[in-house]
Amino acid sequence: MTSGTSEIRLYNTLTKSKELFVPIDQNNVRMYVCGPTVYDYAHIGNARPAIVFDVLFRLLRHTYGDDHVTYVRNITDVDDKINARALRDFGDQISSGELTLNQAIREVTKKTEDQYRSDMRALGCLDPTVEPRATAHIEGMVDMIQQLLDKGNAYIATGEEGTEVLFDTTSMPDYGRLSRRNLDEQKAGARVAVEAHKKNPADFVLWKESSESQPGWQGSFKVDGQVTTIHGRPGWHIECSVMSEQHLGKTFDIHGGGLDLIFPHHENEIAQSRCAHGTEAMANIWMHNGFLQVEGEKMSKSLGNFYTVHELLAEEKFGGRAWPGEVLRLAMLMTHYREPIDFSLARLEEAESMLIRWKKRILDLGLEFSDAKRAEMEALGPCSKLAAELENDLNMSGVVAELHRHAGGDTLHNGERLFGSLRFLGILNFSSMAAFAVAQEEAEAPFDESRLAERLTALANRDFATADRIRDELAAEGIQLMDYKDPDSGERKTKWEVKR
Ligand SMILES: [Zn+2]
CA pair distance 272, 148, nearest whole angstrom: 7
271-298 pLDDT, tens digit per residue, is: 999 999 999 999 999 999 999 999 999 9
Taking the centre of ligand 1 as the mean of its atom positions, its distance from the CA of residue 500, in whole angstroms, is 55
CA pair distance 318, 313, nearest whole angstrom: 10
Residues with a beta carbon under 5 angstroms from ion ligand 1: 34, 240
Beta bridge partners of 13: none
CA pair distance 45, 52, nearest whole angstrom: 12
Instruction: Look at the chain and count its residues.
Output: 500
Q: Is it the case that residue 183 has pLDDT exceeding 70?
A: no
Q: Is it the case that residue 302 has pLDDT exceeding 90?
A: no
**Number of C-beta neighbours around residue 413 at 10 A:** 13
Taking the centre of ligand 1 as the mean of its atom positions, its distance from the CA of residue 253, in whole angstroms, is 15
197-233 pLDDT, tens digit per residue, is: 999 999 999 999 999 888 899 999 999 999 999 999 9
| pLDDT the model gives residue 187 | 56
Closest listed residue to residue 415, CA positions, set 330, 358, 334, 356: 358
- Mean pLDDT of the region 53-82: 96
Residue 16 φ/ψ region, left for φ over 0, alpha for ψ in the -120 to 50 degree band, beta for the rest: left
Q: Is it the case that residue 3 has pLDDT exceeding 50?
A: no
Closest listed residue to residue 367, CA positions, set 427, 444, 430: 430
CA pair distance 311, 352, nearest whole angstrom: 17
Taking the centre of ligand 1 as the mean of its atom positions, its distance from the CA of residue 184, in whole angstroms, is 25
Taking the centre of ligand 1 as the mean of its atom positions, its distance from the CA of residue 370, in whole angstroms, is 44
Highest mean pLDDT among 428-432, 451-455, 485-489: 428-432
Confidence of residue 500 (pLDDT cuts 50, 70, 90): low
Taking the centre of ligand 1 as the mean of its atom positions, its distance from the CA of residue 488, in whole angstroms, is 73
| pLDDT the model gives residue 4 | 46
Taking the centre of ligand 1 as the mean of its atom positions, its distance from the CA of residue 238, in whole angstroms, is 8
User: Which range (184-193, 430-439, 451-460) has the least confidence?
Assistant: 184-193
CA pair distance 27, 427, nearest whole angstrom: 27
Is the CB of residue 300 less than 8 Å from the CB of residue 196? no
- Mean pLDDT of the region 445-466: 87
Q: Is it the case that residue 249 has pLDDT exceeding 80?
A: yes
Taking the centre of ligand 1 as the mean of its atom positions, its distance from the CA of residue 278, in whole angstroms, is 20
What residue type is assigned to position 454 of the chain? E
92-121 pLDDT, tens digit per residue, is: 999 999 999 889 999 999 999 999 999 999
Closest listed residue to residue 128, CA positions, set 138, 113, 144, 112: 113
| pLDDT the model gives residue 190 | 52
- Mean pLDDT of the region 159-169: 95
Taking the centre of ligand 1 as the mean of its atom positions, its distance from the CA of residue 76, in whole angstroms, is 9
Taking the centre of ligand 1 as the mean of its atom positions, its distance from the CA of residue 33, in whole angstroms, is 7
Taking the centre of ligand 1 as the mean of its atom positions, its distance from the CA of residue 199, in whole angstroms, is 24
3-state DSSP percent of the chain in helix, strand and coil, to 5: 50, 20, 35
User: Which range (13-27, 33-47, 179-193) has the least confidence?
Assistant: 179-193
SS3 state of residue 458: helix
317-358 pLDDT, tens digit per residue, is: 999 999 999 999 999 999 999 999 999 999 999 999 999 999
Taking the centre of ligand 1 as the mean of its atom positions, its distance from the CA of residue 255, in whole angstroms, is 9
Taking the centre of ligand 1 as the mean of its atom positions, its distance from the CA of residue 269, in whole angstroms, is 7
Give per-residue burial for 377-409: e unless 16+ CB within 10 Å, then b: beebbbbeebbbbbbebbbbebbbebbeebbee
Taking the centre of ligand 1 as the mean of its atom positions, its distance from the CA of residue 240, in whole angstroms, is 5
Is the CB of residue 76 less than 8 Å from the CB of residue 37? yes
Taking the centre of ligand 1 as the mean of its atom positions, its distance from the CA of residue 15, in whole angstroms, is 20
Taking the centre of ligand 1 as the mean of its atom positions, its distance from the CA of residue 261, in whole angstroms, is 8
User: Which range (79-83, 127-131, 342-346) has the least confidence?
Assistant: 79-83
- Mean pLDDT of the region 474-500: 83
Is this structure's pTM higher than 0.95? no
Taking the centre of ligand 1 as the mean of its atom positions, its distance from the CA of residue 65, in whole angstroms, is 26
Q: Is it the case that residue 484 has pLDDT exceeding 90?
A: no
Beta bridge partners of 23: none
